[in-house]
Amino acid sequence: MKSEVSILKTEIEALKKSLLDLQQQAQQDIWYDGSDVKRLFHISESTLTRYRKEGKIPFTKLGGKYFYPKQYFTKSLMDKMQNKELL
């Protein structure tokens, strides 16, 4: 009986770890597109392009469209962008 409980605890811990790993991976895989960033931060296309060219924000280009990692946009960065104080 005791070994069965121990085995179950081990399996539950493994499942818990797997779920946490999946949750972290899902959060990392969330991207904004350009229209999302412009709308969220009230910036123009030219400002977004300038930030991209100056390396102020990370991005990836896929099929001719730019995407920005959601995890990059922390609360403090969002405040700075909304106040036009980016870097």
* The pLDDT value given to residue 67: 93
pLDDT on residue 86: 58
pLDDT (0 to 100) of residue 71: 80
70, 45, 23, 30: which is closest to 78 by C-alpha?
Answer: 70
Sign of the CA dihedral running 38, 44, 50, 51: negative
**pLDDT score recorded for residue 18:** 85
C-beta of residue 82 within 8 angstroms of C-beta of residue 41: yes
Q: Where are the domains of the chain?
A: 2-82
Q: What is the pTM (predicted TM-score) of this model? A: 0.58
User: Is residue 26 predicted with pLDDT exceeding 70?
Assistant: no
| CA angle centred on 65, ends 69 and 58, rounded to 5° | 30
